[in-house]
Homo-oligomer: A and B are copies of this chain.
């Protein structure tokens, strides 16, 4: 698959490298193709790897992964919007506001969510929210934990969710749980205020939730 990863930070590069390893073609998107981190990544990457602007990377791709800080999510989506029509957009972001310190608050919550704001910003795209609920290293390697845990997703488009479920399964998530339409981002993002406190109490970000039933 042709996958654009928007964002040149740790999460973006980690994802890009893993996707290359899995045989996908990857374009790392940034605001400018002269971005130092993107250039360094491309120079070191093996496989069908390249650098492009947000819009060019999105326009080239079959699937776009939004891997930037929540505070930049809408501006990056806006910059990429010319390439996003009809595309599956995997939204990993969280609306974390660290301006008042730790633990952060959310800059959108309760009766709206960043996932919904992104979908509204690019109504022609098929936004699927997932992987926002756990630490970066666990996104691609759930087996780092001592037993299988759960990953959740939501979005309006059933076909897009099917594509994302296959991608998640390729990362090792056996049975992703579909919460329904994109308004369920409110629930996925509400996990963060609890997650940051569990991080504090457990003394590690290397944990995830397992949903236990009867």
Other-chain contact of A209, B145, B146, B179, B211 (Cβ < 8 Å): B211
Cβ of A202 and Cβ of B193 under 8 Å apart? no
Q: Which of A92-134 contact B (CB under 8 A)?
A: 103, 105-106, 109-111
Assess whether A196 is interfacial by the CB under 8 Å rule: yes
Taking a contact as CB atoms closer than 8 A, the residue among B178, B194, B197, B206 that contacts A180 in the complex is B197
Question: Which 3 residue pairs are nearest across A and B when measured between Cβ atoms?
Answer: A187-B197, A190-B193, A187-B194
Give Cα A155 to B111, complex, Å: 27
Asked if B198 contacts A207 (CB within 8 A), the reply is: no
Whether the pair A212, B208 counts as a contact (CB closer than 8 A) is yes
A1 adjacent to chain B (CB < 8 Å): no
Question: Which residues does A use to contact B, with CB under 8 Å?
Answer: 103, 105-106, 109-111, 144-147, 149, 152, 177-180, 184, 186-188, 190-198, 200-202, 204, 206-214
**Cβ contact of A111, chosen from B105, B178, B192, B202, cutoff 8 A:** B105
Contact status of A201 and B178, CB under 8 A, knowing A110-B193, A146-B212: yes
B212-A210 in contact (CB<8A): yes
Give the interface centre of A110, A111, A204 by most chain B CB atoms within 10 Å. A110
Q: State the number of copies, please.
A: 2
Please tell me if the beta carbons of A179 and B207 are within 8 angstroms of each other in the complex. no
Query: With A105-B110, A145-B212, A209-B209 as given contacts, are A194 and B188 in contact (CB-CB < 8 Å)?
Result: yes
In the docked arrangement, what's the CA distance between A133 and B110, Å?
Answer: 17
* A191 CB contacts on chain B under 8 angstroms: 190-191, 194
Q: Are A204 and B214 in contact (CB under 8 A)?
A: yes
Q: What is the chain B residue whose CB lies nearest that of A100?
A: B111
CA distance A204 to B149 in the complex (A): 19
Closest to A107 in B: B110
By a CB distance below 8 angstroms, the chain B residues around A206 are 213-214
A-B contact pairs, 7 of them (CB 8 A): A145-B213, A146-B213, A152-B198, A179-B197, A190-B191, A210-B210, A210-B212
